[in-house]
Amino acid sequence: MTAQECLTLAKYAFHKAPTGGDDAFYKLLEQSTLHTHKVDSQVTSMIVDTQFKVYFRDQIVPMSGIGYVASYPEYRGNGAASQLMTEILQENYKQETIFSYLAPFSYAFYGQFGYHYVFDQKHYYLNSTDFPRGKKTDLTVKRLSFDQAKADLADVHGKANNNGSLYRQDFEWSYYFEIKKQPLFAIFYQGEHPTGYVIYEFKDMTFVIHEMIFLDETAKQAIYRFVSSHAGAFDEISYTAPSDSRLEADMLEPSQAKISLLPYMMARIVNLKAFLKHFPIKENKQFTIIDDILPENNLSFGEGEKVTMTIGEFTKYVMRDVILREYF
């Protein structure tokens, strides 16, 4: 009953159904913990804590994904959300979770809990005729269903630069690309080996790219050629990309595109001792960390120049070269 109550609360608080409908919400709960605040046995506030893993510095480590932070209007401001956030962080500390990510409704609010703005997202919006044309290659392109594509999608994704992004297992692929959305898939092969893919959909007269990964120049040119071949059928192309994307470098007329880099997700280190065990600090600095929510993280370590940082500032410092691929 609690899951259904939380879905009802989410629809009320966000004025819409979850992307992908009720099935997407219940799918997310398969890998999540629901944290709720109740009054007279009725759910009044909620947060979903989803257990993910992320790539970081050539390792795969646990991450707590915070979402569906919601309260009924008459209960907002009563401290329930803050109580639930603290509870979640304390639980994840005990589980030695290393990171937590969230998409904030307020950077200042989540800053109180040690989160810091870390991730950007890059938006491209351009006329279809301005997309890079690509070149003819010897690669084979196959348009496949999700079931047909998922093994090769995972193979290509796992070989790409994903520092900071999700490590995708069956749950993540299914949730994002089978339940939450049902896009189209084109995979590019050198012989039998996949070397790139594009995940996309058609939205009115816009060709929407959800994800585009190529492992070499040949795959990039083949993907560009595939996308640009749709120019006659669509007016515009949109693409929300990782912050390190350089699509504009391959455009003939880059000034014609609308390109924006927007602040996006926040992150924080949850268990600092676990982080340092995986990623020892080798710089000539002595760090002193201040964490108002998890005092267990109030540590000093390293040798050299003395530097004092909040846990959020330290998170930003060590995650300065990350990207995020998950914008869908």
Contact between residue 286 and residue 307 where contact means Cβ atoms under 8 Å apart: yes
Instruction: For 247-264, write each residue's pLDDT tens digit.
Output: 999 999 999 999 999 999
| CA distance to 78, 95, 158, 249, per residue, from 82 (Å) | 9, 20, 36, 44
Phi, psi angle pair for 261, to nearest 5°: -110, 115
Band of residue 1 on the pLDDT scale cut at 50, 70, 90: low
Strand partners, 166: 54
Over residues 289-305, the mean pLDDT reads: 96
Give pLDDT, residue 173.
97
DSSP per residue over 34-63, as a string?
Answer: EEEEEETTEEEEEEEEEEEEEEETTEEEEE
pLDDT interval class at 75 (50, 70, 90): confident
Q: Which of 245, 262, 279 is where one domain is finished? A: 262
Task: State whether 92 and 59 are in the same domain.
Answer: yes
- For residues 67 and 153, membership in a common domain is answered with no
In this structure, the answer to whether residues 62 and 174 fall within a common structural domain is no
pLDDT tens, 165-204? 999 999 999 999 999 999 999 999 999 999 999 999 999 9
Sign of torsion over alpha carbons 100, 278, 30, 143: positive
Domain boundary among 227, 262, 297: 262
Distance CA 17, CA 2 (A): 17
pLDDT of 78 reads: 85
**With bands split at pLDDT 50, 70 and 90, how would you rate the model's confidence at 276?**
very high
In this prediction, what percent of the chain has a pLDDT beyond 90? Answer: 95
By residue range, what is the domain housing residue 268? 1-119+264-328
Q: State the total domains in the chain.
A: 2
Judged on CB neighbours under 10 Å (0-12, 13-18, 19+), 28 is buried
What lies within 8 Å, CB to CB, of 45 at 6+ separation is 9, 36, 37, 70, 71, 72, 75, 78, 80, 81, 84
CATH of the domain at 38: 3.40.630.30
User: What global pTM score does this model have?
Assistant: 0.93
pLDDT tens digits, one per residue of 208-233: 999 999 999 999 999 999 999 999 99
Can you tell me the mean pLDDT for 12-35?
Answer: 95
| Sequence-distant (≥ 6) Cβ neighbours of residue 21 within 8 angstroms | none
Work out the number of other CB atoms within 10 angstroms of the CB of residue 184.
16
Q: What confidence score (pLDDT) does residue 83 get?
A: 95
Contact between 54 and 63 (Cβ < 8 Å): yes
Q: Say whether both 253 and 276 belong to one domain.
A: no
- Rounded to the nearest 10 degrees, the angle between the axes of helix 21-29 and helix 2-14 is 130
**Boundary (domain end) residue, out of 246, 262, 278:** 262
Q: Do 176 and 225 belong together in one domain?
A: yes
Which residue from 116, 81, 97, 33 is spatially nearest to 291, judged by alpha carbons?
116
The token duo for 42 is 């009725």
Q: 254 with 153, same domain?
A: yes
